[in-house]
Amino acid sequence: MTQRQSVFLAVEEVARQFSERPALSGAGRHWTYGQLIEDVERLAFALVERGCRPGTRVAVVAGNNPLTPLVWLAAARVGAVVSLVNFMLRTEELATLLNNLEPQLLCCDADRLDVCKSALERVSLNVECVVLEEGGYSDAGRAIAQSLTGRPYQGPHPCSHDAHEISYTSGTTSAPKGAVLTHETVLHRGDQEVALFGLGPDDAAIVVTPLFHQSGIRDTVLVMWLVGGHAVIAPKFDAATFWPMVKQYRATYCCMVETILLFLERHPVTEEERYNPLRRVLGNGEPEMLARMEERFGLRFVTVYGMTENGVPVAVPMNIDKDELQMLRRWRRGAFLAGWPQTDTEIRLVGENGVVSGEGATGEIQIRSRNLFREYYRDPKATRAAFTEGWFRTGDMGMYGPLRALYFLDRIKDVIRRGGENIASKEVETVLNSHPSVKNVAVVPVPDPLFQQEVKAIVIPHEGVQITPADLWRWCEDRLARYKVPRYIEFRDSLPMSGTGRIQKQVLRAEGIAGRGITYDRRQETARA
């Protein structure tokens, strides 16, 4: 077996070469590569002491804490299977996810301990919870931070085909799906991005997206560790502190979602941004906005197409001419340039009558690649449905453009994309339909200048029942993460239906924010209150 048989061994190999160079920073802590490996070995021993073995499932429910990547890598050392969970989930949402994962150990921030314990109780899971750092809880056991002074682990390493991570993704239903990623898959994805961006040991990256995102733990932290670069964990994105951090750590690479780009564009020009070292950014957005920001900040946006199940299999290379790039970005309104397949990746578009080709051809984007996840955890039915003849069905509509470039058109799946987060319409509908005063509801995306899309709910109350938007907002706030709560609620007497009894959501989407009934804006109502 090679040194790259596991994620940990790949990072350890780099650490031997760059032992004294910075590897990780955040929350006032700093690790060189030598210190990183030592602390991860100690943490791996602490995980084993808590019962972790090869195949043991470890959940991490935490914000952007620099200890989270250490737990992630320590699990890789032991051969445990780690899952970085969305820390914004409310109790019921978290309970549903944990019921599927059934972790044997849960690590969390101190301020999430009560939510985690409540979620476990709801699904009758008896799981040890341990906080990452002390936070005033006497019943949380020895914190992860205290384990960094313990003994190092000297046990066996997992193999390349073993599962390393279960990454949960919003699907088209309220039930979360966990994509199982092997060590080999995670490393191959990292290698692709290192090559795409031309990264090396002199690079540093600021992590401003949540670590549980692909863009956090794998697209940023891991790719830095594979080349001897420096990963810097920001607690959250802040437009006022972003450029000073970039300058302080001489960051050259970053991943951003659309909303972060818009916040940066709207922020006043500062001295730090004028002479910043940032040169490569993984990010998508409107062509004109990307061009403006490239000119303002002096960097290059590398647009990509991907998801949890397939990594970043399609991208625009760094070496493409600037004028040609702008032409391709602006080729067709409503079509977003994704790029071309990366190494070991094939794509095809499949229409109603089979595979299509040629400029302007449209169809479902299907992918065959070493990047692909192994399966949906404990969901063989969903796994079978996701593949056809070895091709992964993305559920997204694409188009071929000039030079056979792939363009993303729309999501076939019923998903709302708000501020970089995927929101399943069905999940929000299920919560609203559980309100005793609601007869029926449809949830659709509507345009938003900052978050790209906002959540709108069209509600049909039971006849003769009095209900206010404030009632429904409170109902949702108790059951959904804040970003999933509808901004807009419209009341009306009926929904447009097809001949087969399905809600015609395309009609509702076309109606926009105003709709045809009485629409309430959560922000305006809050301001009035």
E-strand ranges in 74-176 read 81-85, 105-108, 128-131, 163-169
Second-level CATH architecture of 333-411: Roll (2.30)
- Domain 7-184, CATH: 3.40.50.980
pLDDT digits (tens, 9 = 90+) for 393-435: 999 989 999 999 999 987 787 889 899 888 878 889 989 999 9
- Domain 415-528, CATH: 3.30.300.30
**Residue 370: is its pLDDT beyond 70?**
yes
pLDDT at position 450 is 93
**Residue 223: is its pLDDT beyond 60?**
yes
Residues 6+ apart with CB under 8 A from 507: 496
Question: Using CA of residue 235, residue 239, residue 244, residue 249, what is the dihedral sign?
Answer: positive
Q: Are 492 and 517 in contact (CB under 8 A)?
A: yes
Taking CB atoms within 8 Å and a gap of at least 24, the contacts of 120-128 are 120/95, 122/91, 122/92, 122/95, 123/95, 123/96, 123/98, 123/99, 125/98, 125/99, 127/98, 127/103, 128/50, 128/51, 128/104
pLDDT digits (tens, 9 = 90+) for 171-195: 434 467 999 999 999 999 999 999 9
Closest CA to 74 of 55, 110, 46: 46
HEC per residue, 275-303: CCCCCEEECCCCHHHHHHHHHHHCCEEEC
pLDDT at position 139 is 47
Query: 515 falls in which pLDDT band (50, 70, 90)?
Result: very high
pLDDT at position 499 is 59
Boundaries of every domain in the chain: 7-184, 333-411, 415-528
Query: 326 falls in which pLDDT band (50, 70, 90)?
Result: very high
DSSP conformation class of 151: P
pLDDT digits (tens, 9 = 90+) for 43-89: 999 999 999 999 999 999 999 999 999 999 999 999 999 999 999 99
Separation of alpha carbons 448 and 468, rounded Å: 24
**Residue 136: is its pLDDT beyond 50?**
no
Q: Are 84 and 130 in contact (CB under 8 A)?
A: no
Q: Average pLDDT in the 482-503 region?
A: 88
**Residue 500: is its pLDDT beyond 60?**
no
**Residue 304: is its pLDDT beyond 70?**
yes
Residue type, 390: G
Residue type, 219: D
